[in-house]
């Protein structure tokens, strides 16, 4: 949403991402823009229509006999254009009886609790939005995580936050996916939160992995001394193997594993700061968020370099952090 890129530039970027299909809505000047990306081996997408503020498709997960409408939105900041979007949604609701998901940036809070700072929420404007949702029989799935999904990232005296990114489903879909949940993830680069919908949330399980020598260890300046110590001529082979395995794992955790360990507490602190800002901004919290973002950038660069080593890729596109690309190859 709000990609601010269109045409060949949009195609060039999405061609490098780990998706084999994409639908683009071009920007109006440098404003707006909307992309829908998917992998055809996992989901079958059929385009029904696309306009300046919307992409409307039918979606079918492969190997499941169940289709639904997916309507993705980047609503215009201008009320007149948003009203057109609400009319399109109301009209579409009368033309089908399928399961239906509407998702995106609606640029409109639904009540006073959805905004902090700035002017108050306009009752007339959010009532137009609410009437549209009622006509479409839509339910808000609620959320876990941060209270607001957007911030203007300004100083405390002009600081504004809003919940304007949402998932809505009609009653039929809600009945099928009773455990579906929406999570507002931590803001990093954008002024919006990533918003994640999980229809069947899975619980994470810890898998014990066998010991493996990692070639990127050779780049560590202290690794040769560790090898020399554990593979001393006086030690028997089984003892040397066991000793090297244990010490290498400890050494890896200190010298490389900590790159990933740094990222989690940083994201947790950012999440905490953003929760505090939702309750009442202060200059201290705004400056701390900026500082943590700078620290996160350093860690993300280190993470990219780690995965580049693991993936054995010896080239990269200048100016782009290719962590996901390296991770997939690994």
- Rounded CA-CA distance 236/13 in Å is 55
Q: Using CA atoms, how far apart are residues 144 and 182, in angstroms rounded to an integer? A: 6
What pLDDT, on the 0 to 100 scale, is given for residue 318? Answer: 45
Of 79 and 310, which is predicted with more confidence? 79
CA dist 101 and 122 (Å) reads 26
CB-based contact 76:97 (threshold 8 Å): no
- pLDDT band for position 98 (cuts 50, 70, 90): confident
At residue 208, the pLDDT reads: 66
Q: Give the per-residue pLDDT at 59.
A: 92
CATH superfamily, domain at 7-198? Endonuclease/exonuclease/phosphatase (3.60.10.10)
Which position has the higher pLDDT, 200 or 69?
A: 69
Give the DSSP H/E element, type plus range, for residue 284.
helix 283-311
pLDDT (0 to 100) of residue 283: 93
Least Cα distance to 150 among 49, 75, 56 occurs for 75
Q: Which residues contact 251 (CB under 8 A, 6 or more apart)?
A: 217, 220, 222, 223, 226
How many CB atoms lie under 10 A from the CB of residue 40? Answer: 11
**Residue 310 near residue 330, CB atoms below 8 Å:** yes
pTM for the model stands at: 0.71
Query: Which pLDDT tens digit goes with each residue over 200-251?
Result: 877 655 566 778 777 667 767 888 998 988 888 888 888 889 889 999 988 8
The candidate with the shortest Cα–Cα distance to 56, out of 13, 101, 105, 108, is 101
The predicted pLDDT at position 329 comes to 61
Q: Are strands 144-145 and 181-184 parallel, antiparallel or unpaired?
A: parallel
CB-CB contact of 105 with 164 (8 Å): yes
The domain locations on the chain are 7-198, 215-329
User: If you average pLDDT over every residue of the chain, what do you get?
Assistant: 86
C-alpha closest to that of 90 among 74, 71, 76 = 71
- The span from the CA of 159 to the CA of 283, in Å, is 10
How far is the C-alpha of 12 from the C-alpha of 8, rounded, in Å? 6
pLDDT tens, position by position, 248-301: 988 888 776 677 777 889 999 999 999 999 998 899 999 999 999 998 988 888
Q: Name the token pair of 281.
A: 């901004």
Strand bridging mode 144-145 / 67-74: unpaired
- Note the pLDDT tens digit of each residue in 135-175: 998 988 889 999 999 999 999 999 999 999 999 998 777 77
| Strand ranges (E), 216-324 | none
Residues 84-96: what's their mean pLDDT?
91
Q: What is the pLDDT of residues 2-53, one digit of tens each?
A: 888 888 888 999 999 999 999 999 887 777 889 999 999 999 999 999 999 9
User: Could you give the percent of the chain with pLDDT greater than 90?
Assistant: 49
Give the number of residues written for the chain. 330
């Amino acid at each position: 949403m709000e990609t601010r890129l269109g045409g060949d530039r949009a195609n060039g970027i999405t061609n490098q991402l780990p998706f084999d299909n994409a639908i683009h809505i071009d920007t109006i000047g440098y404003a707006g823009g909307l992309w829908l990306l998917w992998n055809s081996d996992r989901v079958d997408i059929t385009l029904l229509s696309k306009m300046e503020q919307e992409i409307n498709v039918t979606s079918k997960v492969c190997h499941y006999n169940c289709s639904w409408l997916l309507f993705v939105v980047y609503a215009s900041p201008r009320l007149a254009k948003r009203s057109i979007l609400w009319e399109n949604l109301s009209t579409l609701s009368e033309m089908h009886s399928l399961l239906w998901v509407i998702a995106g940036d609606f640029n409109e809070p639904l009540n006073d609790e959805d905004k902090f700072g700035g002017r108050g929420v306009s009752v007339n404007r959010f009532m137009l939005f609410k009437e549209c949702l009622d006509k479409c029989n839509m339910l808000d799935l609620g959320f876990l995580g941060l209270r607001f999904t957007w911030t203007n990232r300004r100083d405390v005296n002009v600081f504004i936050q809003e919940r304007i990114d949402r998932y809505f489903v009609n009653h039929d879909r809600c009945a099928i996916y009773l455990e579906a949940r929406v999570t507002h993830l931590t803001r990093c680069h954008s002024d919006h939160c990533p918003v994640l919908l999980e229809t069947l949330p899975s619980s994470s399980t810890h898998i014990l992995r066998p010991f493996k020598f990692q070639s990127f260890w050779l780049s560590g300046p202290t690794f040769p001394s560790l090898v020399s110590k554990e593979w001393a001529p006086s030690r028997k082979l089984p003892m040397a193997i066991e000793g090297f395995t244990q010490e290498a794992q400890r050494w890896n955790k200190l010298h490389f594993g900590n790159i990933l360990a740094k990222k989690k507490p940083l994201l947790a602190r950012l999440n905490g700061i953003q929760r505090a800002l939702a309750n009442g901004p202060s200059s201290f919290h705004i400056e701390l968020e900026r500082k943590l973002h700078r620290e996160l950038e350093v860690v993300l660069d280190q993470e990219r370099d780690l995965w580049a080593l693991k993936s054995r890729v010896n080239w990269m596109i200048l100016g782009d952090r290719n962590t996901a690309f390296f991770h997939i190859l690994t």
